[in-house]
Structure 1
């Protein structure tokens, strides 16, 4: 597996990981988690991914070995060179991350840390509107108001997403996770793609690729876990709560073990289907 880290010449100040403790930097140093649920105090978390505050229970097992895992200050993602999309994107939301008044824009850029043949270019997305697609963020632009929001516009974080989904249920879900972060201060999110039926390809792309047929997302606030699956073809007025599912169902359909360092019974106890934001 190829791993590339975002090169920085400054240390990123980091908030609390989970319920307590600090990570000291984004470099490859031992990372320990004092008292996270499911882990004994001071038990080590694999740090080879660099910014592992986004993956407190480790990199999902089942991630293809030839994927490129790229970690940045605001997220980690696993880019699939066959689909040209990220299989998953993990990010840690805090009040600071979602708060800011800097004006944001959508300036699409190829990922500089991926080989050109493994990712799409802005020109590949020409004409997406004619198919009813938006350029949909996996980590939301609005969830990075605290800084480095430009990194959400890299095309490795973008997929062709139906406009009705992107502007409807998916937008509702993104708002809900930010509301949750405001209430509990820290929310861990992992989201990704499903390929369960053929979808129309991008009409002007010269590269082989696959358009997702749906999306999944898991939110964890330290005491509750919510899992969702939303199909590409849901109508604009679809309520995101109708997409509630289980982590086990997402793992069955993706072939991933999303939280390899979390005990299965602990994971089941964390899953909830009530009191959603």
Structure 2
């Protein structure tokens, strides 16, 4: 979840892009979140519109307790969806202050036992919206989620905003799970290189299409196809040329095509890699 990353006009719904030649996975979307006073998305409509352009599988991420409960319900109702549950790093300090963080972790652990919940996340660190007073609670929560991912054998999805060094340090100290995903990767080429060496998966959102994102495209350019994923982070981070509009999984093809250009491979190659990597990380749908 990346609320606060962007501004822009939220008028008409963007038109559907051309269908991808092969199916892909949106590995990080928020069907429980609405933007700017809009109604919550209709889950069936979201899935149908995405499937029509080749995005036939999605991972719904619930990163607070209401969102995690929603996730467990919706993945049971729709076979196109798998789920992820966690306490977002921006939620952890407030829960800690109220003395509710442990009970929140307990519920997340219980929800994570659902067989269609395949992700612990998004967890991690966010120093943009949380000041120094919240860092300790964020780091404690991140370490707890890393441990849960390892105990359950599920993938870890990491939110990293203005906190690159500490994210990498804590992953090294705790020992990263076998399947670790840097959601909405925002690091530079040197961070990408370190993540690649450690065997992490790097997931790219619509930000990689933004005009001012050359450092991010430089980072993507060195990622092996075997370690690349794509996502919307919907309803945020809508790819160009619709930046600022409400995002949804049906817009993934715009990001996939941009990634193919950066990686200097054809679009089917990116589609195959994203699909194969997603099933390696999350298991079969």
Normalising by structure 2, what TM-score? Answer: 0.30
Structure with the higher fraction of residues in strand conformation = 1
Structure with the higher fraction of residues in helix conformation = 2
Normalising by structure 1, what TM-score? Answer: 0.30
